């Protein structure tokens, strides 16, 4: 199963973290630090896999992808196929790209709740749920459409929009 | 900023992110985040926060916690938000609680009710959000609260919900298998769901269930195979394609399941062969995902009951991986190779150069994977090269975790396959030197035990040689700075036990060295203790030998220091040492017998020498001793009384024992304080108390090591160290241990491995068109030489089968190694054929090749000799060759191609360069022929690699 999904930038700042087994925040930070330590020491043009049993427990591996200023990292155990995980990262990134039109780090920073929504459509409880970015997009659009329609009914946004206008 | 307003966040949040992004130090970042937390704490507690605003606060909380700060003050607000009617807020609430809370958090109980309500919602997105939360937040106790609704949702019209419900149920199964055991049939039902997505999701729980118990799902093999077939034939809707591959993730999951179901089950496996070879054939190796499927297919093939054709395809795919430039693929290739060699060790040979390339690759992951592979293929013939490489690598890694692992692997391999004790000791020294703090203490004890016990044969000369070489190397190593404690303990023990044994070093020299050790490690009591005892032993031996020992000043200083030590153990040792020096020769001999570390010490627990004293005491009216088991039921008072009686007979009851400090030592071991007169006759009775009751125990340390020696069972290790296994590679490579080495057999094997070496080297020198560096070749030869030598040895077993009984072992071990592949395939040949070979009924060509190799071994001067005792080998070689010649017609009787191959063989032997000749050897359109050719070529010494394209064009093309 997939143990965790981490997105961080090349300075080691986490941009999205999701652990499928609960980890207390301090432990999470420690893991993120260690992963970053390993990643930034990797040379260019090497494999995308890292044996990570010293960070995440026995049998755990990391697959990562370095895109622009971001690292996309999936942590999983031996029941998953490394190459397939690499493609799952691809699915995730493709979906982000569709969603934000040329995704960049800023999109990721300001929309990490949306990132979580996307991730929840792809991975559920550590298992791969959906691998077609089109299907994911459909679900996401449906959610935002319905969210809009419900929030239109509700009676808040005056204050917020006023604030934004400033 | 205007454009960023589009993200729907307030300016405050944007500023926060921006300032954090611009923070130049961790401290600055922390300051910003802490002030943000203060702001949030204040704002969130305000009455009547607009809901929209609250949503943003919650998101900011999540953000703060992601940066590693505590946001627990806001958890309750996140929980409240899940109750909201607005979908957007509800989803934010659920998101926050799934990130904040673990399943045993107190607040969960406040959410369960909401989840229950939401699972019944009409809005399917609300249900989805609730299901996502269910997967994360429901623990064993709360499962029953939502279980009925989840089961109901399995039949929901929306496939997205069915899918998530399956996943939720799977999660329950992972959490508490018992809670959903009655619902497992639902997974089977969902496998037939109309929606392929739901079916794919069902594979996840089924995979887990089948991992736990494959036998109850054998009936599904057919269904899985047919699903896989449909998927592979692109019968699913186009939307499931990913990079032109039909539903690759479903295919991969199915292949994993099939691998589990087919493992060790011939019947089930047979249903899979067709589809597997279909997938291999369609295999798309240009895309990443295509390779993922191919890799999974290889895993499946290597796990199920072996089938020649699919193994062939798997080997092909593996070689494509290994030849790739892409590191990821090479990594997968190494992994796949590791799986395949379990079934057919010869596959590795073809890729030796690729493997060595990976070993020298800058990519650490790849390197580690390759070492894993080497670890799997280690046998007695290549153990030296592999362990040396591992140690070299080990020295340069900083990662403690991995260093420990690789050090323990070195130890394991060395213990298992060590060709000689000398090598073993040298290797252990290296491991200890560089990773001594990381290896198990057990390893140190094993090493001491080995040095003490020697070969396990009655060869005292060799043993003492071994010991003096160990002593010599340790004296040298002691010069190095910073040795790990465990290693120093071993060194001290060995020096104490055998330091002066061979007479090369004087006692005072060794004692001086030991004093240095103790001095240099003032903080390590264990090392000091070992050193002291070692000094004591040397003194004892000198006294026993009647020599006068003068006390070195540094030694005296050490003793003085230790006598005042805080450690009672060190104190005792120092006093023991002083006492020992005052004893006469006889007493010393019986206290510290020479070289007695291997003697068994029988501890007589009844302590008979005390019986007269006990008798006396009893007569004086003392209470009889009550054993511990009887005591346990009694009151403390009684225990104390009986102990007191033993200590100082004549004491009356002392109830105040707990409160008052007693002048006598602690009463925990009353027996130890028996009157001194009952001990061994010792000249100076005042020290008798320091010497322990069982007279044969020389010192507590010796007792320790001897004790360890008794307790540690090194199963089989000693057996493997013996000489016989050294030259026979088969015993180690196959799982069989039923090895009957009859006189000539080991020599025969020796010839095999030797001629392999010779052949490799000969061939290397001739092959100029190959531009691979000679060093690499050599490494390859030493790594893989074993398997190629095995290759040649097999035929010799065919031939000599009726003559030398010793070689019968060969075919049987081979058969075992394949874990019973179909013997029906090749029943025509009377001696058990080589089932491992992929080419089918090829055995008749083999015998003709083998003599050639052996001949070549004779022709060449055999430049590199890994075998130290080549003189032994030279003897039986000739007669063996003769036997081979005379036997050829007999073994070939079954085959029709006797004559052509025989003559061909001669032709080849005249022209040993004949890589190309070999390809003309046989003509045949079918792949079997080319495989035979492959085998033949390999035996001739051609390393199949990209460098010999014309040889393999017909094989791969």
Residue A84 to chain B, least CA–CA distance (Å): 6
Q: How confident is the model at residue A2 (pLDDT cuts 50, 70, 90)?
A: very high
At which residue do the structure tokens 């009617």 appear?
B85
String of b and e for B611-639 (b: at least 16 CB within 10 Å)? Answer: eebeeebeeeebeebeeeeeeeeeeeeee
Contact between residue B147 and residue B172 where contact means Cβ atoms under 8 Å apart: yes
Question: Is residue A77 within 8 angstroms of chain B, CB to CB?
Answer: no
User: Residue B829's pLDDT is what?
Assistant: 41
- Decide if B103 and A22 are in contact by the 8 Å CB cutoff: yes
Sign of the C-alpha dihedral computed for residues B247, B253, B256 and B261 taken in this order: negative
Residue A85 to chain B, least CA–CA distance (Å): 9
Residue among B215, B216, B202, B133 at smallest CA distance from B173 = B202
Question: Is residue A93 within 8 angstroms of chain B, CB to CB?
Answer: no
Which residues of chain A make contact with B328, given a CB cutoff of 8 A?
Answer: 47-49, 82-83, 86
| Interface test with chain A among B136, B288, B300, B334, by most A beta carbons within 10 Å | B136
- Decide if B327 and A113 are in contact by the 8 Å CB cutoff: no
Which residues of chain A make contact with B138, given a CB cutoff of 8 A?
Answer: none
User: Residue B577's pLDDT is what?
Assistant: 85
Contact between residue B217 and residue B210 where contact means Cβ atoms under 8 Å apart: yes
Residue B242 to chain A, least CA–CA distance (Å): 7
Domain map of chain B by residue range?
A: 1-100, 381-591, 608-673, 728-956
User: Residue B240's pLDDT is what?
Assistant: 84
Q: What is the DSSP-derived secondary structure letter of residue B868?
A: S
Parallel, antiparallel, or unpaired for β A14-19 and A123-124?
unpaired
Residue A153 to chain B, least CA–CA distance (Å): 9
Give the C-alpha separation, B507 to B504, whole Å. 10
Give the C-alpha separation, B151 to B173, whole Å. 13
- CA-CA distances (angstroms) from residue B477 to B104, B438, B492? 55, 19, 12
Question: Is residue B14 within 8 angstroms of chain A, CB to CB?
Answer: yes
Range of lowest pLDDT (A30-39, A124-133, B718-727): B718-727
- Decide if A142 and B125 are in contact by the 8 Å CB cutoff: yes
User: Residue B299's pLDDT is what?
Assistant: 94
In chain B, the residue whose alpha carbon lies closest to the alpha carbon of A29 is B68
User: Residue B929's pLDDT is what?
Assistant: 56
Does this model's pTM top 0.80? My answer is no
What one-character-per-residue DSSP string does chain A give? -EEEEEEEETTS-EEEEEESS---HHHHHHHHHHHHHHHHTPPSSS-SEEE-HHHH-TT-EEEEEEETTEEEEEEE-TTS-HHHHHHHHHHHHHHHHHHHTS--HHHHHHTHHHHHHHHHHHEETTEE----HHHHHHHHHHHHHHHHHHHHHSS-THHHHHHHH-
User: Residue B939's pLDDT is what?
Assistant: 52
Give the C-alpha separation, A131 to A85, whole Å. 11
| Interface test with chain B among A31, A53, A120, by most B beta carbons within 10 Å | A120
In chain B, the residue whose alpha carbon lies closest to the alpha carbon of A125 is B135
Give the C-alpha separation, B737 to B816, whole Å. 11
B242 is written with which tokens? Answer: 């990913």
CATH number for the domain spanning A38: value is 3.30.450.60
The residue segments making up the domain with residue A113 are 2-165
- Decide if B50 and A14 are in contact by the 8 Å CB cutoff: no
Radius of gyration of chain A (CA): 17
Residue A34's Cβ-count burial label (10 Å; 0-12, 13-18, 19+) is middle
Give the C-alpha separation, B662 to B656, whole Å. 10
- Decide if B248 and A87 are in contact by the 8 Å CB cutoff: yes
Give the C-alpha separation, B162 to B201, whole Å. 9
Q: How confident is the model at residue A6 (pLDDT cuts 50, 70, 90)?
A: very high
- Decide if B160 and A111 are in contact by the 8 Å CB cutoff: no
User: Residue B621's pLDDT is what?
Assistant: 84
In chain B, the residue whose alpha carbon lies closest to the alpha carbon of A91 is B242
Query: Mapped to the 3 state alphabet, what secondary structure does B448-509 carry?
Result: HHHHHHCCCCCCHHHHHHHHHHHHHHHHHHCCCCCCCHHHHHHHHHHHHHHCCCCCCCCHHH
In chain B, the residue whose alpha carbon lies closest to the alpha carbon of A83 is B292
Q: From the list B91, B239, B288, which residue is nearest A86 (CB)?
A: B288
- Decide if B328 and A82 are in contact by the 8 Å CB cutoff: yes
- CA-CA distances (angstroms) from residue A110 to B60, B169, B615? 10, 33, 89
CB pairs under 8 A between A and B: 186
What one-character-per-residue DSSP string does A13-27 give? -EEEEEESS---HHH
Contact between residue B187 and residue B169 where contact means Cβ atoms under 8 Å apart: yes
Q: Which B residues, 449 through 488, put their C-beta within 8 Å of a C-beta on chain A?
A: none
Which residues of chain A make contact with B69, given a CB cutoff of 8 A?
Answer: 25
Q: How confident is the model at residue A122 (pLDDT cuts 50, 70, 90)?
A: very high
Contact between residue A63 and residue A73 where contact means Cβ atoms under 8 Å apart: yes
Mean pLDDT of chain A: 84
A83 is written with which tokens? Answer: 């190459």
Residue B885 to chain A, least CA–CA distance (Å): 51
What ipTM did this prediction achieve? 0.88
Residue A26 to chain B, least CA–CA distance (Å): 6
Residue among B153, B118, B152, B149 at smallest CA distance from B133 = B118
User: Residue B660's pLDDT is what?
Assistant: 46
Question: Is residue B136 within 8 angstroms of chain A, CB to CB?
Answer: yes
Q: From the list A24, A46, A81, which residue is nearest B362 (CB)?
A: A46
- Decide if A131 and B51 are in contact by the 8 Å CB cutoff: no
Residue among A56, A78, A39, A87 at smallest CA distance from B328 = A87
Question: Is residue A48 within 8 angstroms of chain B, CB to CB?
Answer: yes
Q: Which B residues, 280 through 319, put their C-beta within 8 Å of a C-beta on chain A?
A: 288-289, 291-292, 295-296
**For chain B, which ranges sit under pLDDT 70?**
1-9, 454-460, 594-601, 629-773, 784-957
Which residues of chain A make contact with B288, given a CB cutoff of 8 A?
Answer: 83, 86-87, 90
- Decide if B10 and A109 are in contact by the 8 Å CB cutoff: no
Q: From the list B10, B296, B400, which residue is nearest A163 (CB)?
A: B10
Give the C-alpha separation, A92 to B575, whole Å. 72
What is the number of structural domains in chain A?
A: 1
Task: Please count the other Cβ atoms lying within 10 Å of the Cβ belonging to residue A65.
Answer: 16
Question: Is residue B679 within 8 angstroms of chain A, CB to CB?
Answer: no
């Amino acid at each position: 199963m997939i143990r965790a999904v981490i997105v961080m930038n090349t300075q080691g700042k986490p941009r999205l973290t999701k652990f499928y087994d609960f980890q207390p925040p301090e432990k999470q930070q420690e893991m993120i630090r260690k992963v970053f330590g390993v990643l930034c020491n990797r040379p260019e043009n090497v494999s995308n896999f890292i044996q990570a049993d010293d960070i995440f427990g026995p049998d755990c591996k990391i697959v990562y992808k370095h895109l622009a200023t971001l690292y996309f990292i999936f942590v999983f155990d031996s029941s998953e196929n490394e190459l397939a995980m690499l493609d799952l990262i691809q699915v995730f990134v493709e979906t982000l790209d569709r969603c934000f039109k040329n995704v960049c780090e800023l999109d990721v920073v300001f929309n990490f709740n949306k990132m979580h929504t996307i991730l929840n459509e792809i991975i559920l409880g550590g298992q791969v749920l959906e691998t077609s970015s089109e299907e994911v997009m459909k679900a996401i659009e449906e959610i935002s459409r319905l969210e809009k329609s419900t929030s239109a009914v509700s009676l808040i946004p005056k204050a917020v929009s006023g604030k934004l206008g400033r | 900023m205007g454009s960023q307003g589009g993200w729907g966040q307030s300016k405050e949040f944007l500023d926060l992110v921006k300032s954090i992004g611009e923070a130049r130090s961790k401290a600055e970042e922390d300051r910003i985040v802490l002030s943000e937390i203060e702001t949030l704490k204040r704002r969130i507690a305000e009455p009547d926060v607009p809901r929209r605003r609250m949503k943003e606060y919650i998101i900011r909380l999540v953000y703060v916690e992601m940066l590693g700060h505590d946001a627990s003050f806001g958890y309750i607000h996140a929980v409240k938000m899940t109750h909201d009617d607005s979908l957007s807020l509800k989803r934010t609430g659920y998101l926050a609680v799934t990130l904040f809370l673990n399943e045993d958090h107190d607040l969960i109980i406040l959410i369960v009710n909401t989840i229950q309500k939401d699972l019944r919602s009409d809005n399917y997105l609300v249900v989805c959000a609730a299901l996502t939360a269910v997967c994360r937040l429901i623990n064993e106790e709360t499962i029953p609260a939502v279980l009925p609704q989840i089961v109901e949702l399995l039949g929901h019209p929306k496939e997205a919900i069915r899918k998530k419900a399956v996943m939720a149920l799977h999660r329950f199964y992972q959490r508490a298998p018992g809670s959903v055991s009655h619902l497992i049939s639902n997974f089977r039902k969902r496998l037939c769901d109309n929606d392929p997505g739901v079916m794919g999701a069902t594979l996840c729980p089924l995979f887990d269930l089948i991992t736990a118990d494959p036998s109850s799902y054998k009936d599904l093999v057919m269904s899985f195979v047919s699903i896989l077939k449909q998927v592979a034939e692109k019968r699913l809707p186009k939307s499931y394609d990913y990079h032109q591959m039909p539903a690759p993730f479903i295919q991969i999951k199915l292949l994993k399941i099939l691998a589990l179901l087919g493992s060790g089950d011939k019947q089930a496996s047979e249903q899979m062969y067709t589809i597997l070879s279909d997938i291999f054939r369609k295999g798309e190796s240009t895309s990443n995902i295509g390779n993922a499927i191919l890799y999974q297919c290889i895993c499946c093939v290597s796990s199920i009951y072996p089938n020649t054709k699919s193994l062939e395809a798997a080997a092909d795919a593996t070689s494509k991986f290994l030849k790739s430039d892409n590191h990821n693929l090479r990594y997968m290739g190494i992994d796949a190779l590791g799986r395949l060699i379990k079934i057919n060790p010869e596959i590795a040979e073809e890729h030796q150069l690729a493997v060595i390339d990976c070993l020298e690759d800058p990519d650490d992951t790849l390197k580690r994977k390759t070492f894993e592979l080497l670890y799997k293929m280690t046998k007695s013939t290549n153990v030296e090269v592999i362990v040396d490489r591992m140690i070299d690598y080990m020295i340069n890694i900083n990662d403690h975790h991995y260093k420990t692992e690789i050090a323990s692997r070195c130890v394991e391999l060395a213990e298992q396959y060590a060709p000689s004790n000398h090598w073993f000791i040298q290797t252990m020294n290296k491991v200890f030197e560089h990773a001594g703090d990381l290896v198990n203490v057990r390893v140190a004890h094993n090493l001491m035990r080995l040095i003490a016990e020697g070969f396990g044969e009655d060869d005292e000369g060799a043993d003492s040689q071994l010991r003096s070489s160990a002593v010599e190397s340790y004296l040298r190593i002691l010069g190095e700075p910073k040795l790990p404690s465990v290693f120093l303990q071993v060194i001290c023990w060995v020096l104490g036990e055998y330091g002066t044994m061979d007479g090369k070093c004087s006692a005072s020299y060794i004692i001086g060295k030991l004093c240095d050790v103790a001095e240099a490690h003032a903080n390590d009591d264990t090392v000091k203790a070992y050193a002291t005892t070692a000094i004591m032993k040397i003194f004892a031996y000198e006294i026993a030998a009647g020599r006068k020992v003068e006390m070195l000043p540094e030694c005296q200083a050490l003793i003085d220091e230790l006598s005042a030590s805080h450690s009672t153990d060190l104190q005792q040792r120092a006093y023991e040492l002083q006492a020992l020096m005052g004893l006469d020769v006889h007493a010393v001999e019986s206290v510290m017998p020479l070289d007695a570390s291997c003697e068994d010490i029988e501890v007589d627990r009844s302590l008979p020498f005390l019986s007269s004293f006990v008798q006396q005491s009893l007569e004086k009216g003392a209470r009889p001793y009550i054993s511990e088991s009887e005591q346990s039921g009694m009151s403390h008072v009684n225990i104390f009384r009986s102990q007191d009686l033993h200590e100082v007979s004549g004491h009356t009851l002392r109830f105040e024992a707990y409160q008052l400090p007693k002048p006598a030592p602690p009463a925990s071991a009353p027996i130890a304080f028996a009157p001194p007169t009952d001990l061994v006759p010792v000249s100076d009775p005042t020290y008798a108390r320091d010497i322990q009751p069982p007279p044969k125990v020389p010192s507590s340390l010796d007792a320790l090591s001897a004790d360890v020696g008794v307790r540690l069972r090194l199963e089989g290790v000693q057996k493997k160290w013996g000489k016989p296994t050294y030259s026979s590679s088969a015993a180690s490579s196959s799982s069989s241990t039923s090895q009957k080495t009859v006189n000539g057999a080991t020599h025969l094997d020796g010839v095999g491995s030797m001629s392999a070496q010779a052949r490799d080297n000969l061939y290397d020198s001739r092959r100029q068109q190959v531009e691979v560096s000679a060093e690499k070749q050599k490494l390859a030869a030493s790594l893989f030489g074993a398997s190629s030598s095995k290759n040649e040895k097999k035929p010799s077993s065919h031939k000599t089968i009726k003559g030398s009984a010793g070689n019968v072992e060969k075919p049987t071990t081979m058969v075992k190694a394949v874990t019973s592949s179909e013997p029906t395939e090749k029943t025509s040949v009377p001696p058990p054929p080589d089932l491992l070979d992929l080419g089918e009924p090829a055995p008749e060509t083999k015998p003709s090749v083998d003599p050639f190799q052996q001949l070549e071994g004779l022709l060449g001067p055999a430049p590199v000799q890994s075998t130290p005792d080549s003189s032994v080998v030279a003897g039986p070689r000739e007669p063996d060759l003769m036997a081979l010649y005379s036997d050829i017609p007999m073994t070939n009787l079954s085959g029709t191609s006797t004559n052509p191959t025989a003559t061909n063989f001669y032709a080849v032997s005249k022209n040993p360069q004949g890589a190309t000749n070999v390809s003309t050897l046989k003509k045949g359109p079918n792949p079997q022929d080319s495989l035979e050719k492959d085998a033949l070529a390999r035996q001739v010494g051609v390393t199949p690699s990209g460098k010999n394209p014309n040889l393999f064009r017909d094989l791969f093309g």
